[in-house]
Chains A and B, each alone.
Chain A
Amino acid sequence: DSGVTQTPKHLITATGQRVTLRCSPRSGDLSVYWYQQSLDQGLQFLIQYYNGEERAKGNILERFSAQQFPDLHSELNLSSLELGDSALYFCASSPRELTDTQYFGPGTRLTVL
């Protein structure tokens, strides 16, 4: 158990819908990262927050957005969902910045029908 929690574990929805994925980092960690893992794209970095501020950005689609709240939990919002958005979404946390070891959560499996 990494100490990072993600909810929900599974999510099935339809195209065009909007969903919110939630992540609670390990106690004391200030950085939260979001990743997408699909069969054809592998592990893709989406975005990182540090103490509430956006600090690094990967190839995150404009339909996706995220935020980190004052209590340090984070949410990833996915809108206008497409079939290709079906994937495992992982959250990770670390004490500080990008070079820190990251601890990954169990992931949220999103299925878009």
Chain B
Amino acid sequence: LAKTTQPISMDSYEGQEVNITCSHNNIATNDYITWYQQFPSQGPRFIIQGYKTKVTNEVASLFIPADRKSSTLSLPRVSLSDTAVYYCLVGDPGNTGFQKLVFGTGTRLLVSP
């Protein structure tokens, strides 16, 4: 069973860039890497998705190296409202023939003034 790991927590200040890394061994060839944001008592919310190299949208960038065994979510110029838990999600081929979806352990980001 693949293990997906992230730092437990990170602290930052408003206006700074934050980079959160997720390590994911055994990623399947056809799987994408997706990052989600979660506020307390709410469901996760999609941030960005990628397969390889770099993807950028209006809120974040995602960097994926050639071996795809890790990914880095980059949040430019964070604000207080970015305080949340961030999860990476990848597929896991497993042994059953069914793909499994494995969430990372989650990184709690605290943004201070």
Which A residues are closer than 8 A to B by beta carbons?
2, 4, 33, 35, 42-45, 48, 55-58, 88, 90, 92, 98-99, 101-107, 109
Contacts and interface: CB of A to CB of B under 8 A. Distances in A.
Nearest first, the 8 A-B pairs at minimum CB distance are A104-B43, A43-B103, A45-B101, A99-B32, A56-B98, A101-B46, A57-B98, A104-B44
B43 A90 contact: yes
B81 interface: no
Q: Name A's interface SS.
A: strand
Nearest to A97: B99
A56 B43 contact: no
B98 A102 contact: no
Nearest to B49: A101
A20 B80 CA distance: 38
Given A99-B32, A101-B49, A58 B100 contact: yes
A101 B34 contact: yes
Given A35-B103, A42-B106, A98-B91, 6 more contacts: A4-B43, A42-B105, A57-B100, A98-B99, A102-B46, A107-B42
Contact of B99 (A56, A90, A105, A106): A56
A101 B62 CA distance: 15
Given A98-B31, A99-B91, A101-B34, A43 B99 contact: no
Contacts of A102: 34, 44, 46, 89
A107 B43 contact: yes
A99 B43 CA distance: 18
Interface in B1-42: 30-32, 34, 36, 41-42
A43 B87 contact: yes
